[in-house]
Chain A
Amino acid sequence: MLKFTDEHEWLKIEGDVATVGITAHAAEQLGDLVFVELPEAGTALDKGATAATVESVKAASDVYCPLDGEIVESNQAIVDDPSLVNSDPQGAGWFFKLKLSDPSAANALLDEAAYKELIA
């Protein structure tokens, strides 16, 4: 199941684990990323809490946790090479995997059509 937030994150949900990243639209708006800071595995986060920080040449931006849960894995590849987020935001440029406290809460997020409408 693929879901989106109005904060321009995508979630690929398999069972009770969501792989989370930022959308191609967000990556384009941010521009060339030069730094990514990710949460450590084991960190419990509430929906809306700051989960990650990304920096472009020009500015820093926060990435928010899309649902309540616990971080189970972070993508070291984008820490080592932040440009992966620009080149493949919805693939190799994923940010972290989140074990959802309540997987059914994902139903309230945007589907792809609704997200496309949001950024149109």
Chain B
Amino acid sequence: MDNSTTYQIEIPASTSNLADVRKFVGVHATGFGFKENEVEEIKLAVDEALTNVIKHAYKFDDSKTIYISVGLQGREFWVAIQDTGAPFEPQNYTEPNIPERVKKGLKGGVGVYLIKRLVDKVEYNKKSQHNEIKLIKKL
């Protein structure tokens, strides 16, 4: 994988495809030279972002499509996830109080919290009809 190459896949918005995307991202992250634990971090961050798209942007409508691409920029590995559903508004995001969520029996709601701790940078972009979340990890 050199700096000019990007790899892309597209999947129906179904959780049944999460494992395949983790594998796809894992192969490229490993190829770029990340250590095993870092590859696991990237795979988890991508899984959380995809799950949010399936759940929130597309509301489990598996007729919709998610576009995933990976590439390099210098010593940085990036994964971009695009959808055409309801956009995530990062300015409205507040960090969850996890002990309080546990106390109230609230399931999850911690995906973005995890993503921010697993990669070095998270960018949200709007490109015409597409929403994009870009996860960046430095080697």
Q: Bound pair: A and B?
A: no
B→A interface (CB under 8 Å): none
